[in-house]
Amino acid sequence: MSTDHQRYSTENQRETIGQYAVQHDMAIVRTYADEGKSGLHLEGREALKQLIHDVQSGDCDFEAILVYDISRWGRFQDADESAYYEYLCRRSGIRVFYCAEPFENDGSPMATIMKSVKRAMAGEYSRELSNKVFQGQCRLVELGFRQGGVAGFGLRRMLLDERRVQKGTLRFGEQKSLQTDRVILVPGPDDEIATIQYIYNAFLQDGKAEQAIADALNARNIRSDHDRIWTRGTVHQVLTNEKYIGNNVYNRTSFKLKQHRVRNSPDMWIRHDGAFEPIVSPEQFNCAQAVIAARSQRMDDLTMLQLLRQLYDRTGVLSGLLIDEQKEMPSSSVYRTRFGGLVRAYSLVGFRPRRDYRYLEINQALRDMMPEVVAEIMAGLTGAGAWVRRDEKTGLLTVNDEFTLSIVIARCLQLPSGTFRWRLRFDTSLAPDITAVVRLSANQRTPLDYYLFPHIDQPLRPCRLAEQDNEVTLDAYRFDAIDPLYALAERHPLHHAA
């Protein structure tokens, strides 16, 4: 059951299944119920997983499975997935009966056709419902109402009734109880508003970078929302999010049907400018965007190499630190990205280091990348409704005060044969509950995939990964995206789970 506002409530299903059992002289000995869980995928469906496990173990105390209807296996976007679970049961000698379907599941051609159609209809229902919900949310955004997500630092969610009369602010984790109620954003406490003004003044008037501002706030023991430390990413978010000038922007990212999370282009955003009371002026916000845009303005390759050659002529030597000290030049990380590494950029201007410093450059790049990766994962966890605390000394993340998380970056190593390898190292002294490994592609910047190792199955020694054909015990924890980690930390209201 994904919601209790429909005919698929567990009580209605239980009553129909009970009547079917009585009519067919059956005794119900066990019940498997996933209450308040989405049927779009198997993740979170612990009861269904237990059912499949019990059936395959051959140690179950029942001879048949009663299911309300075809869609209760799940509204999978791949119709064959629900058929697969039914097949696992039948292969183990357990018959499956559908109590609310107008046909008998007797293996006849007609029953097979009907089941295939019903499975496809179940997936199509989710697609149509997703589209209708999205259209409704877009309409509410255009009317100036907030749709989902935490308010953010310096802001609070205000509950309105159907006449737009304020009913009170919602605390973290609270939701509206009436369908006719709506939510807007309002300015938060004065101390948080003062902190936001400090961020903009430090950025625009003092010329401080985001990391410097974050360091200053942390030194003053000022915490961000949910009592977290400030990072470059959280400061940058304050400087770039239009909600601080009162604009209501929606559909920046999409996670429809719980598939891959994607970032949408600005032309797909749904917006209502001036929907909320602003905290900073549009002039301040626009100036900040201009500074950020000018800072990230791209130079052509020829201009970058000319600046690098001029620096080499003046100093007779080149290094990443020396480049970063030059205000008129792009940073060393820009040279790495543009030319495939600093050593190659050096060679294009005639500089030859006396030794191979490539491993130092890669290690420095990984150190520079780590805060960004950690900030991105923390933002993803927060977006899933979790709260995250980071230990400044160890870097260990504590999620929801329930489990600890360690983040490891595995750089790509190219062997003389041209093949690639990745060496995984784990910090066993911290004993994190989960270790998230970000495996980099050959450019040492883009994530190739992710590994999520629970503590109980974490390899005791460093291990090496190949491009393919790794051990099953390793690739069982491989994911193309980091979304399963966010789903693990996702929160559900108690009244839905009860």
Q: What is the DSSP string of 134-153?
A: HHHHHHHHHTT---SS---T
Half-sphere exposure at residue 199, Cβ-oriented, CA atoms within 13 angstroms: 32
Whether the pLDDT of residue 78 is over 60: the answer is yes
In terms of phi and psi (left: phi > 0; alpha: psi -120 to 50; beta: otherwise), the region of 227 is left
CB 154 within 8 A of CB 195: yes
- Residue 260 pLDDT grade (very low, low, confident, very high; cuts 50, 70, 90): low
Q: What is the pLDDT of residues 40-75, one digit of tens each?
A: 767 778 888 889 889 988 888 899 999 998 888 888
* Residues sharing a CB contact under 8 Å with residue 144, sequence separation 6 or more, in sequence order: 184, 248, 272, 275, 276
Q: Which residue has the tokens 């797909």?
A: 268
Dist. CA 426–CA 278, nearest whole Å: 46
Average pLDDT over residues 21-41: 85
Least confident of 111-115, 149-153, 167-171, 470-474: 470-474
Across the range 475-485, mean pLDDT stands at 87
Q: What pTM was estimated for this model as a whole?
A: 0.47
Query: Quick one: DSSP state of residue 171?
Result: P
Q: Which of 14-18, 195-199, 257-261 has the lowest mean pLDDT?
A: 257-261
Mean pLDDT of 181-207: 92
Residue 29 in this model has a pLDDT that exceeds 90:
yes
Whether the Cβ atoms of residue 30 and residue 63 lie closer than 8 Å to each other = no
Q: In terms of pLDDT, which residue wins out, 218 or 343?
A: 218
- Label residue 3 by pLDDT band (50, 70, 90): low
Is the CB of residue 396 less than 8 Å from the CB of residue 404? yes
Identify the pLDDT of residue 163: 86
pLDDT of 300 > 50? The answer is yes
Name the average pLDDT for the chain.
82
Structural contact between residues 324 and 332, judged by C-beta atoms closer than 8 angstroms? yes
- Cα→Cα distances 76→54, 123, 363, 401, Å: 22, 5, 43, 32
% of the chain at pLDDT higher than 70: 87
pLDDT for 12 equals 84
442-453 per-position pLDDT tens digit: 877 788 889 998
> At residue 411, what is the residue type?
R
The more confidently predicted of residues 412 and 7 is: 412
The pLDDT score that the predictor gives to residue 105 is 87
Q: What is the pLDDT of residue 74?
A: 82
- Per-residue pLDDT for 94 more than 70? yes
How much of the chain exceeds pLDDT 90, in percent? 21
Q: Which range has the worst mean pLDDT, 38-42, 132-136, 193-197, 292-296?
A: 292-296
Least confident of 2-11, 71-80, 154-163, 169-178: 2-11
- Residue 281 pLDDT level (bands cut at 50, 70, 90): very high
How many angstroms separate the CA atoms of 439 and 365, rounded?
Answer: 14
CA proximity to 491, closest of 78, 237, 173, 144: 173
Cβ pair 434, 406 in contact under 8 A: yes
Residues 6+ apart with CB under 8 A from 103: 110, 111, 114
Residue bearing the bigger pLDDT, 240 or 332: 240
The string of pLDDT tens digits covering residues 331-385 is 676 787 788 778 888 889 988 765 545 555 555 666 677 888 888 899 889 888 8
Predicted pLDDT of residue 263 = 60
- The full set of domains in the chain, from first to last, is 10-139 (3.40.50.1390), 155-294 (3.90.1750.20), 301-356 (no CATH), 365-496 (3.40.1350)
Q: Is the pLDDT of residue 25 over 90?
A: yes
- pLDDT of 92 above 70: yes
The larger pLDDT score, comparing residue 342 to residue 286, is at 286
- The per-residue pLDDT for 4 is 45
- With bands split at pLDDT 50, 70 and 90, how would you rate the model's confidence at 173? confident
For residue 343, the one-letter residue type is: V
Predicted confidence at residue 62, as pLDDT, reads 92
